[in-house]
Amino acid sequence: MELASVAALAENRVIGRDGELPWESIPADKQQYRARIADEPVVLGRRTFDSMRDDLPGRAQIVLSRTEQAFDVATAFHAEDLDAAVERAASLDAETAYVIGGAQIYALFQPHLDKMFLSRVHGVYEGDTYYPEWDRDEWELNEATEYDRFTLERWVRR
């Protein structure tokens, strides 16, 4: 099973401000994001899970949390750490598990990722949450597709 992160980040790696996106919604990005993760499990932190409760992504949500261990959503599963999250995703016969945030979850999984699908939002934005840096020597930019307001990048670990 592969691990891949999916994130939208500004040119300065900002992914959020006060728990929200710091830029106006980009429908084309949301559409490609939802299509990519629709049939696979997603791994996310509890705060990210709570912020998406009205429109949960993926076919299953693996929620990393130190405080909550049960959720009132049939497709949501608790994981106490990275290993438990990967084990749960594998038990769901997933080809890929998508890591979708927040910042601490991205940082935790970064050394273990096989791929990154990054929507590079054009511009620099102020924020309080950042996508983790990565060693460019360990990664190859495999594909870049230009859209209005963002570039979708596909990175593959060397």
Instruction: With cut-offs at 50, 70 and 90, classify the pLDDT of residue 157.
Output: very high
Per-residue model confidence as pLDDT tens digits over 70-82: 999 999 999 999 9
pTM of the model: 0.96
State yes or no: pLDDT of 68 exceeds 90.
no
What is the rounded average pLDDT for all residues in the chain? Answer: 96
Kind of pairing, strands 150-157 and 139-147? antiparallel
Cis peptide before 102 (omega within 30 of 0): yes
Specify the amino acid at residue 59: R
CATH number, residue 146: 3.40.430.10
121 has a pLDDT exceeding 90: yes
Q: What is the 3-state secondary structure (H, E, C) of the chain?
A: CEEEEEEEEECCCEEEECCECCCCCCHHHHHHHHHHHCCCEEEEEHHHHHHCHHHCCCCEEEEECCCCCCCCCCCEEEECCHHHHHHHHHHCCCCEEEECCCHHHHHHHHHHCCEEEEEEECCCCCCCEECCCCCHHHEEEEEEEEECCEEEEEEEEC
Q: Which domain holds residue 94?
A: 2-157
Other Cβ atoms within 10 Å of 17 Cβ, number: 14
* pLDDT tens figures, 42-51: 999 999 999 9
Which single residue is written with the structure tokens 């790696």?
Answer: 13
Number of domains in the chain: 1
